Amino acid sequence: MAESDGMKNQVRALRLDKGLAQGELAQALGVSRQTINSIEKDRYTPSLPLALALARYFGVTVEEMFG
Amino acid sequence: MTGENGGRVCTGSKWLTPAMCVGFGGVVLLAGWLGGQLVTGLIGLVIMACFGLVIAVSGRSETIRGLRGDARDERFAQIDLRATAATGLVLIVVLVVAFLVEIARGHSGNPYTWLGAIAGLTYALSVAVLRWRG
């Protein structure tokens, strides 16, 4: 995936709502903590499977999370 | 590449890359021994073994873990792909410059001519195969 094109995502807000640390979310999704950090800072756009996994994990749509 | 492992962290052995370093050092030593340059071969083995040791015992830095090959996920696969592309680009630029320098000095340009040809053909073939695979 290419770098973010300026979209603001809700990953950090949703994670904090659940009271999760980046490492805990990373472990739940099977990626590194640095990857979660990069997604939250819009430095990395996740692949479609990872974006879907994130959306399912938080019970929201991909559009709600990344739109 | 992205999504090939479903975005999951690849938890291969952290000893694989260090072992490969030592193995390659052994090959360098063998080549040096066969060529009558045992000292050069030994130096190669020591350098490769030291590099392998450093990345094996280093901490939990993401860069070191990436070099080591353990705990890679889809983002690191992208980093690896870009780093590989950058490395290839630098090598091709060096090849072209070396070829031009050799030509300007009145030499044949070898072996840079063949190396450049291999690089160009590999790139063209890769584009064709990857395009065909979709």
DSSP string, chain B: -TTTTTT--B---TTHHHHHHHHHHHHHHHHHHHTT-HHHHHHHHHHHHHHHHHHHHS-S-HHHHHHHT-SB-HHHHHHHHHHHHHHHHHHHHHHHHHHHHHHHTTS--TTHHHHHHHHHHHHHHHHHHHHHH-
On whether the A11-59 domain is CATH 1.10.260.40, my answer is: yes
**Separation in Å, CA of B6 to nearest CA in chain A:** 6
Give dist(CA B43, CA A1) in Å, integer: 41
Q: Touching check for A34 and chain B: CB below 8 Å?
A: yes
Residue B38: which domain range? 1-72
Q: To the nearest 5 percent, what fractions of chain A are helix, strand and coil?
A: 60, 0, 40
ipTM above 0.90, yes or no: no
Residues B118 and B59 in one domain: no
Q: Indicate the pTM of the whole model.
A: 0.75
Q: Within chain A, which residues score under 50 in pLDDT?
A: 1-4
B73 touches chain A (CB under 8 A): yes
Asked if B71 reaches chain A (Cβ–Cβ under 8 Å), the answer is yes
Taking 50 as the threshold, does the pLDDT of residue B32 lie above it? yes
* Same domain, yes or no: B13 and B47: yes
The count of domains in chain B is 2
Q: Give the model's confidence band at B2: pLDDT under 50 very low, under 70 low, under 90 confident, else very high.
A: very low
Same domain, B97 and B128: yes
Which residue of B75, B78, B81 is the best one to mutate when testing the A interface, meaning the one whose CB has the most A CBs within 10 A? Answer: B75
Q: Which residues lie closer than 8 Å to A61 by C-beta, 6 or more apart?
A: A55
B93 in the same domain as B37: no
Do residues B84 and B26 both lie within one domain? Answer: no
